Amino acid sequence: MPRSITRLAGLALLLVAVGCGSEDTDSSAVAPAEAVSPEPIADAEPSRTGGQETVAAMQGTWQARDDAQSVMQIDGDRVVESYGGQDETEATILAVRSCDDLTEDPASVYVVIEDADLTRCFEIDGVTETTLAYFNMARGNRLLFDRVAE
């Protein structure tokens, strides 16, 4: 095994050992985390079109550029995501000022897509008549969609 890999493996084991220390903690002394609700954007203050204007521009049917079976339909504040014409998930979309601790740029536009099981936050990279691009804030990947002619 190369020396650098051996060093990294040793460092990883050390970090695991330190992180798994046997501190005696009283779990009742730890306060539960407070849920943070996204703050809706009431107007078009941020740059890059503005929150409500961005959601308005996103209306319609979109197909993922890297997977033609992945389709998203946005109608008002309702989003229906499907894969291969099946597995429909209904959610809501809301323009927000930030994605809790994940966001840093007050000039960006963010949207939250929330269904019964999951809340996801995205930074809008751009919306045109034919293309929608955004970043998944939790994963960091960029997603591209093409508008489907209706």
**37-46 residue pLDDT tens:** 344 433 333 3
Contact (CB, 8 A) for 109 and 95: yes
Alpha helices in 1-150 (DSSP H): 3-19, 51-57
Identify the band that residue 103 occupies on the pLDDT scale cut at 50, 70 and 90. Answer: low
* Contacting residues for 86 by C-beta, under 8 A, at least 6 apart: none
Which residue is listed with tokens 């389709």? 71
CATH architecture, range 51-147 = Beta Barrel (2.40)
Cα separation, 101 vs 10, whole angstroms? 32
The pTM score is 0.64
pLDDT digits (tens, 9 = 90+) for 53-74: 999 999 999 999 999 999 999 9
CA–CA distance, 49 with 109 (Å, rounded to integer): 8
Average pLDDT over residues 8-17: 35
The residue among 37, 41, 47 whose CA lies nearest residue 108 is: 47
Residues constituting the chain: 150
Where exactly are the structural domains of the chain?
51-147
Position 46 scores a pLDDT of: 35
Encoded amino acid at 14, one letter = L
